[in-house]
Amino acid sequence: MLKQIDSTHHVTFKEVIQIITHNPHAVYLLRGPRGTGKTSIAHFIAKALDKPLAGGKIIQAPQEEVGNFKFPVIKDGSFVFVPNESFGLHTGEPVTMFIDEFDKPHASVQNVLHETIEPDGSFMGIPLHPASIRIIAGNLEEEGLGRIRDHTHDRVIELVVKGATQEEMIEYAIESGWHDTVIAFMHEFPDCLLTILDGDAWKNSPYKGVTRRGLEGVSDIMHSSYGKLNSKLLATAIAGRVGSEFANQFQAFVDFKDQLPSHDEIMKDPMKAKLPATQGAACVFIFGAITRIDKTTIDQYMKYISRFEPEWEMMFTLSMAKSKQSVAFSSPTMRDWLLANSDLL
Mean pLDDT of 226-249: 91
Distance between CA atoms of 168 and 92, rounded to whole angstroms?
35
Q: Is the pLDDT of residue 278 over 90?
A: no
pLDDT the model gives residue 256: 77
Establish how many alpha carbons lie within 13 A of residue 177's alpha carbon, considering only the half-sphere containing its beta carbon: 4
pLDDT at 198: 55
Please state, in angstroms and as integers, the Cα–Cα distance from residue 274 to each residue in 259, 271, 283, 312, following that order: 8, 9, 15, 16
pLDDT at 76: 79
Q: Which domains does the chain have, with CATH numbers?
A: 7-160 (3.40.50.300), 166-209+252-344 (no CATH)
Determine which of 46-55, 70-79, 103-112, 308-317 has the lowest per-residue pLDDT on average: 70-79
Q: Which residue has the higher pLDDT, 37 or 96?
A: 96
DSSP 178-236: --HHHHHHHHH-GGGGTTTSSSSGGGG-S-TT--HHHHHHHHHHHHHHBTTB-HHHHHH
Checking if the pLDDT of 221 tops 80, the result is: yes
What is the structure's pLDDT at 261?
A: 85
Q: For residue 152, what pLDDT band results from cuts at 50, 70 and 90?
A: confident
User: What average pLDDT does this structure show over 260-279?
Assistant: 88
State which H helix or E strand residue 140 sits in.
none
Is 193 a residue whose pLDDT tops 90?
A: no
Give, in degrees to the nearest 5, the angle at Cα 133 between 129 and 136: 125
- What is the arithmetic mean of pLDDT over 184-206? 70
Angle of the 310-323 helix axis to the 332-340 helix axis, nearest 10 = 120
The CA angle 133-28-158, to the nearest 5 degrees, is: 170
Reported as a pLDDT band with limits 50, 70 and 90, residue 41 is confident
Residue 75 pLDDT greater than 80, yes or no: no
Q: Is the confidence at residue 107, as pLDDT, over 90?
A: no
Per-residue confidence (pLDDT) for residue 229, from 0 to 100:
92
Note the pLDDT tens digit of each residue in 307-344.
998 888 888 888 888 878 888 888 888 888 888 877 76
266 CA to centre of own chain: 31
Q: How confident is the model at residue 91 (pLDDT cuts 50, 70, 90)?
A: confident
What is the pLDDT at residue 59? 87
How high is the pLDDT of residue 32?
A: 78
Q: Which of 19-28, 47-56, 222-231, 317-326 has the lowest mean pLDDT?
A: 317-326
201 confidence band (pLDDT: 50, 70, 90): low
| Mean predicted lDDT score pLDDT of the chain | 83
What values do phi and psi take at 32, rounded to 5? 165, 165
Which pLDDT score is estimated for 286?
Answer: 87
**pLDDT score, position 42:** 84
Q: Answer with the residue of higher pLDDT: 86 or 131.
A: 131
> How far is Cα 325 from Cα 328, in angstroms, rounded to an integer?
5
- What's the CA gap between 208 and 246, in Å, rounded? 9
pLDDT score of 7: 65
- Mean pLDDT lowest for which of 132-141, 143-152, 208-217, 262-271? 143-152
The percent of residues in the chain predicted with pLDDT above 90, rounded, is 19
Let me know the angle formed at the C-alpha of 137 by 134 and 141, rounded to the nearest 5 degrees.
Answer: 140
pLDDT of residue 133: 92
Say if residue 219's pLDDT is above 90: yes
Of residues 222 and 92, more confidence is placed in 222
Q: Judge whether residue 288 has pLDDT over 90.
A: no
* pLDDT-based confidence at residue 143 (cuts at 50, 70, 90): low
